[in-house]
Amino acid sequence: MPETTVDGTIVDTVTEVPVAVVGAGPAGLMLAHLLGRAGVESAVLDLRTRAEIETTHRAGILEADVARDLVETGVGDRILREGQEHTGTELRVGGRPYRIDFRELVGASVWLYPQTEVFKDLADARERDGGTAHFGVRDTEVLDVGTDAPRVRFTAADGTRHELRARYQVAWFGVMAQAPSSAEELVYAQSDRGFALISRRTETVQRMYFQCAPDERVEDWPEERIWATLQERVAGEDGFRLTEGPVLERTVLRFRSFVQEPMRWGSLLLAGDAAHTVPPTGARGLNLALHDVKVLAGVLTRALGREGEPALDAYQPAALRRVWRAQHFSSWMTRLLHTPPGATPFELRRQLGELDCVVGTRAGRAYLAEQYTGWPSADR
């Protein structure tokens, strides 16, 4: 369905992706390949078609280190089979040959392997690994690069218009305040000024968070500004107000999401933050870590008993299902409640529609309740 972007332009699709790479020659594709190996998604574009790049002949010599990098990252098998290692070269001066012996002189060699083939190997790897590469695009525009919401717009080979947008970055400004509590239970507040969460520690110490930019500096937030921000984000027709008091501590918490798979390498077993991290919304982190170690304690006990090491095989399958559920729930709850910087009016309205589905239906509320309170343990 066509979408309207922040500047009012209509495009066929808007895709969120953390890295857009303009130029799908060997360097652009290698960047996408290396990012992919590190678990970072990207989209690569090029004005030229794949056939044009494949038939543009360029130099065919690779430094040994470059060849090794390609081999070691899984895109150099053909270099080893079809390339040739050269340990020297000939300079002809006035009809006389002079051999420059790389190996003897500097202990190095180079590989003769055409750049067009490097390109093919990398383009094939993108396809194999499910990466995104658009060839033959037109009208590429790189927009808003000085902001935290850069975009790339282009016309694909089939004439459709697309926009790539950096995945929105949010962080939380965390506050510990000396004040009586303002609510009996936790309050997760969505507002058009951004998200806020009212939690508590004790009768007299309150824990609160509000959505902020990841590069926010705590020095820029005196007490009055913190309270004003929290108050306007929780304000509503019921007249709800937070009881204010001295701010004891301020921290900016940047969001990160990752899962380390496999969670086991031989007799090394990863659990908790060593294996995964989720955005804080929904408070899954510690709960998930404790589920990991409960499963782990079970398999370790069995492994050290009669079953032996094969018992360890059960760890990852039992732990991982919950890890991905929590990964999903935390990101869902984050998107549900935060205001994405640079969001279009359409997106903000859609978000309100989604919130209405959650708070306005029993099934929606039950879905949130079920995820928030935790799933049955894998070993039960």
Least Å distance, CB 174 to ligand DHB, is 8
Give the number of C-alpha atoms closer than 13 A to the C-alpha of residue 305, restricted to the C-beta side. 7
Least Å distance, CB 212 to ligand DHB, is 14
Query: Closer to ligand DHB at the Cβ: 234 or 303?
Result: 234
Q: Does 282 bind ligand DHB (CB under 6 A)?
A: yes
What does the alpha-carbon distance between residue 44 and residue 39 come to, in Å, rounded to a whole number? 16
Least Å distance, CB 185 to ligand DHB, is 11
Query: Quick one: which segment of 84-92, 117-125, 127-135, 277-285 binds ligand DHB (CB under 6 A)?
Result: 277-285
Query: Closer to ligand DHB at the Cβ: 83 or 282?
Result: 282
Of the residues 143, 213, 283, 300, which one makes contact with ligand DHB according to CB under 6 A: 283
User: For residues 214 and 171, is the Cβ–Cβ distance under 8 A?
Assistant: yes
Residues 6+ apart with CB under 8 A from 150: 20, 142, 143, 144, 165, 166
DSSP state of 93: E
Residues 6+ apart with CB under 8 A from 20: 42, 43, 44, 45, 150, 152, 164, 166
Query: Quick one: which segment of 256-264, 274-282, 286-294, 358-366 binds ligand DHB (CB under 6 A)?
Result: 274-282
User: For residues 323 and 259, is the Cβ–Cβ distance under 8 A?
Assistant: yes
What does the alpha-carbon distance between residue 195 and residue 230 come to, in Å, rounded to a whole number? 9
Query: Closer to ligand DHB at the Cβ: 29 or 326?
Result: 326
Least Å distance, CB 207 to ligand DHB, is 5
Query: Quick one: which segment of 113-121, 154-162, 218-226, 281-289 binds ligand DHB (CB under 6 A)?
Result: 281-289
Q: Which residue is nearest to ligand DHB (CB)?
A: 199
Size of the site for ligand DHB (CB under 6 A): 8
Query: Closer to ligand DHB at the Cβ: 66 or 175?
Result: 175
List the one residue out of 116, 61, 100, 66 whose CA is nearest residue 84.
61
Query: Quick one: which segment of 85-93, 145-153, 219-227, 276-284 binds ligand DHB (CB under 6 A)?
Result: 276-284
Query: Closer to ligand DHB at the Cβ: 214 or 308?
Result: 214
Residue type, 105: L
Least Å distance, CB 279 to ligand DHB, is 8
What does the alpha-carbon distance between residue 110 and residue 25 come to, in Å, rounded to a whole number? 21
What does the alpha-carbon distance between residue 173 and residue 211 come to, in Å, rounded to a whole number? 6
Query: Closer to ligand DHB at the Cβ: 133 or 197?
Result: 197
Orientation angle between helical segments 362-372 and 315-337, nearest 10 degrees: 130
Of the residues 155, 281, 334, 371, which one makes contact with ligand DHB according to CB under 6 A: 281
List the one residue out of 52, 45, 54 whose CA is nearest residue 155.
45
Of the residues 26, 131, 194, 280, which one makes contact with ligand DHB according to CB under 6 A: 280
List the one residue out of 357, 7, 18 whose CA is nearest residue 165.
18
Query: Quick one: which segment of 13-21, 35-43, 159-167, 279-287 binds ligand DHB (CB under 6 A)?
Result: 279-287
Query: Closer to ligand DHB at the Cβ: 197 or 242?
Result: 197
Going from the C-alpha of 320 to that of each of 216, 263, 266, 297, the distances in angstroms are: 34, 8, 17, 15
Of the residues 48, 50, 193, 207, which one makes contact with ligand DHB according to CB under 6 A: 207
Query: Quick one: which segment of 63-71, 111-119, 241-249, 280-288 binds ligand DHB (CB under 6 A)?
Result: 280-288
Query: Closer to ligand DHB at the Cβ: 197 or 226?
Result: 197
- In total, the chain counts a number of residues equal to 380
Query: Closer to ligand DHB at the Cβ: 132 or 199?
Result: 199
Helix (H) or strand (E) holding 150: none
161-200 binders of ligand DHB (CB under 6 A): 186, 197, 199
DSSP three-state, residue 254: strand
Binding site for ligand DHB (CB under 6 A): 186, 197, 199, 207, 280-283
